[in-house]
């Protein structure tokens, strides 16, 4: 996980590749941009919970990339793919990433 954090340009390139395979990741990124907040409580709410259980951005990422996709879409099923999506979307939500 530390590797993906220490090389943001590679993380961005990996995320763009993931979006070309799974377009719903790009929609989550755009949603995170719209919900961007400097309020940690709001970030935690949107990230983990959303409007109802399973609606948080993290839950949605879990269903789209990484081990959850191993069977039906192996091209985006690695832990490094998950890390790229996770940190790219979280960083735009909490205001630390590119937006």
Local confidence band at 1 (pLDDT 50, 70, 90 cut-offs): very low
Percent of the chain past pLDDT 90, that is, above it, reads 55
More confident residue, 53 or 46: 46
Q: Hey, what are 51's tokens?
A: 């409007």
- Who's near 3: CB < 8 A, 6+ residues apart? 80
Q: Is 42 helix (H, G, I), strand (E, B) or coil?
A: helix
Helices (H), the chain: 2-6, 8-21, 24-34, 40-44, 57-64, 79-93
Local confidence band at 19 (pLDDT 50, 70, 90 cut-offs): very high
| Domain residue ranges in the chain | 2-93
């Amino acid at each position: 996980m530390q590797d993906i954090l220490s090389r943001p340009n590679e993380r961005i390139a990996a995320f763009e590749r993931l979006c070309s395979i799974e377009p719903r990741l790009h929609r989550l990124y755009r949603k995170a941009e719209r919900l961007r907040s400097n309020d940690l409580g709001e970030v935690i709410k949107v990230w983990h919970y959303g409007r109802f259980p399973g609606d948080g951005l993290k839950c949605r990422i879990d269903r789209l990339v990484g081990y959850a996709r191993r069977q039906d879409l192996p091209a985006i099923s690695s832990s490094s793919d998950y890390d790229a999506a996770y940190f790219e979307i979280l960083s735009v939500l909490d205001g630390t990433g590119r937006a």
